[in-house]
Amino acid sequence: MCELFALSSLYNTNISFSLEEFADRGGLNGPHKDGWGVAHYEHLDVRLIREPFPASNSPCVRFLQEHGFRSNIIISHIRMATVGERQLRNTQPFSRALGGRMHTFAHNGDLDGIIDLPGFETGNWQPIGETDSEHAFCHLMYLMQPLWQTGEPTLEARYRLLEDFARRLRPVGPANFIYSDGDYVFAHGDKRTQPGLEGYHPPGLHWLSRTCGLSEESHEIPGVVLQHEQCDQSVVLVATVPLTGENWQPMEEGEILIIKDGSIHHL
């Protein structure tokens, strides 16, 4: 299965924070060699860099590390292909424009047959590739479109729509996904393959909350560097599996986290 990672922070942080360890999973320490992508927001727009090649030896990953792009919302995906050719069009994250901003989506799991299932229409949001993940995203955008036609929807309206979307997605297959509209990050945990177990079991995602004090120029833990400029920093990290030995929290099956500015929000 693929691997997901997301970061939400109060202030911009350096995108090189964990790419080395995360990239190692993309073909060096794991089987995920079929592509990778990183989306990081600049206000409501997205800088999206993707490749249908292993991340572990990618010059583009080195480029990101050396140039230190900064963002307060970052979504990453490393692919192990099960549906669709190893091509750029099938490489996540996916992104579309709606309501004057970019919406970004990354998914982990196989949604068998979703393209032909009734109730998952995409309207004018047509996929570019062949993956079930992109089809699910286009269906989500089809559902989101009415919400954004009259201005920025409330958080509750966004959450309720995502809650219903995730509820209908879970019976089709593992439905771990991370979605952002440039304002909030929504992480939905379902289930995935687990070492030593047959089939799919929760947790499908884990999360970690961190803070950095005013006096710290950076905060380093294995594989993660959070750089900020003379300010108190709050960060929430979401990953398929814990990237460090810290106290990552497993997400329950069907749980949706609402994250904004490095903090967990509740309705």
Q: How high is the pLDDT of residue 81?
A: 54
Catalytic-labelled residue, pool 2, 138, 212, 231: 2
Question: What is the average pLDDT across 98-122?
Answer: 93
Q: How far is CA 209 from the centre of its chain?
A: 16
Domains of the chain: 3-265 (3.60.20.10)
**What's the pTM?**
0.89
Q: Which of 4-13, 67-76, 119-128 has the lowest mean pLDDT?
A: 67-76
pLDDT tens digits, residue range 206-219? 999 988 754 444 44
Q: How high is the pLDDT of residue 110?
A: 87
Q: Which of 78, 81, 93, 109 is nearest to 190 (CA)?
A: 109
CA neighbours within 13 Å on the CB side: how many for 39?
27
Whether 2 sits among the annotated catalytic residues: the reply is yes
pLDDT tens digits, residue range 33-49? 677 888 989 989 999 98
Written as six digits, the tokens of 87 are 């091509």
Q: What share of the chain is helix, strand, coil (3-state, %, to 5)?
A: 20, 35, 40
